[in-house]
Amino acid sequence: MKPDFQLNDHEIYMDNAATTAVAEEVLDAMKPYFEEKYGNPETVYQLGRDAKCAVSTARASISDIIKCQPEELFFTSGGTEANNWAIKMAGTSLPDQGVMVSSIEHASVLKSAKYRCRNVPYFEIPVDSYGVVDLVVMENELKTRKYALVSVQYANNEIGTIQPIAKISELCKEHGVYFHCDAVQAFGKVKFDVDDVGADLISLSSHKIHGPMGMGALYVKQGTILEPLLHGGGQEGGMRSGTLAVPEIVGFGKAAEMSIDSIKTDMPRLMKLSEDLANQICLSFKAKRNGHSTQRLPNIVNVTIPGMETSVVCGIMCSKFGICLSAGAACSTAKRQSHVLEAIGHDAKDALSTLRFSLSRYNTAEEITMVFCRLQAAGNQAESRSLI
């Protein structure tokens, strides 16, 4: 059920790659653990046992979806922590070996890898104009130097391109390298399990699938050498210390359960809506759609519109027309060119003329029509301002 808390009666939210509205069913599942079932799961009395049982249930639900063992799944504060943990602490017994990442990874991957690689090799795998990693370059680099870890995302958060994950996994296995996959954007949008991905570590997040913010998980394949990132009370089997956020974990579990049906029913519909929106924009504005034509997430539309100042358009769309969208990733600043667009060959001018629309199960065909009409109006207003 769509949550009933829009800012006004004409707001349309299309920035779901940044975060999603918490589903009413998720809120209902979480509520008891804020109120009467508020116990610390590490305690032995009934309130604590109830909380511990809820954590175990959520862990089992998510584990069932990605087909891993519950003891291979560790809760974190979100995708950023999961990425930091995997990249900084996996394979640290090989201190002289570096990290390889794709050039379009999330900032939490790129910055973590650079931090770890202050005195060891760091390499960014280039991508083609669609955002697909160059497997030939990757393989040649693996043959040339020793790496402890390769990190490549399942799908990109800006342009939606899905990577050839199975082939990447094969190369990593062939060269004896740990493989980490940031699946934050793909989880709940694309059906996959740990065998499909073939990674040693997989990052997940709650708030991209209508779960609460501040909650994620890291899958760690049995036998993977991973040191704790956080030390303290020894929660999560000694792997991730800190009092567990029980309500958020419960919410994550519920959101993950709901995503099973959403992948079957909502995502095909969103793919059609995305195609309709992209086609209308490209035809009307002579725009170019970014990302792969077929291997992409069903809910992301990233378009470069020649001559349009998208920072101005975004402001008009939001303040005047009540449309929430983005000129790039939420974790990027407006003053910095998107490293993703740069990697796929866009110059600064193109980057400043690019918009990202990202849909969720709550968006409708009527909203797509309205967004397109308001984009036309905002574009005209922006053009008029530039002429003054």
Domain residue ranges in the chain:
12-22+265-387, 24-257
Query: Quick one: DSSP state of residue 221?
Result: -
State the CATH class of domain 24-257: alpha beta
pLDDT at 73 over 60: yes
| DSSP SS3 for 366 | helix
**Closest CA relative to residue 201, chosen from 297, 84, 121:** 84
In one letter, which amino acid is 231?
H
Full-model pTM: 0.94
Alpha helix ranges (H) inside 12-164: 24-30, 46-66, 79-89, 107-116, 135-144
pLDDT at 5 over 50: no
Please report the pLDDT score of residue 387 as a whole number: 44
Cα–Cα distance measured from residue 320 to residue 317, given in angstroms and rounded to the nearest whole number:
6
pLDDT at 312 over 80: yes
Q: Which fold is adopted by the domain 12-22+265-387?
A: Aspartate Aminotransferase, domain 1 (3.90.1150)
Which residue has better confidence, 382 or 200? 200
Lowest mean pLDDT among 43-52, 181-190, 235-244, 320-329: 320-329
pLDDT at 334 over 60: no
The band of 330, judged by pLDDT with boundaries at 50, 70 and 90, is: low
pLDDT at 4 over 60: no
What the block records as the tokens of 252 is: 């994550």
Catalytic residues: 331
Q: Hey, CA dihedral for 215, 108, 65, 242, is it positive or negative?
A: negative
Cα–Cα distance measured from residue 62 to residue 177, given in angstroms and rounded to the nearest whole number:
26
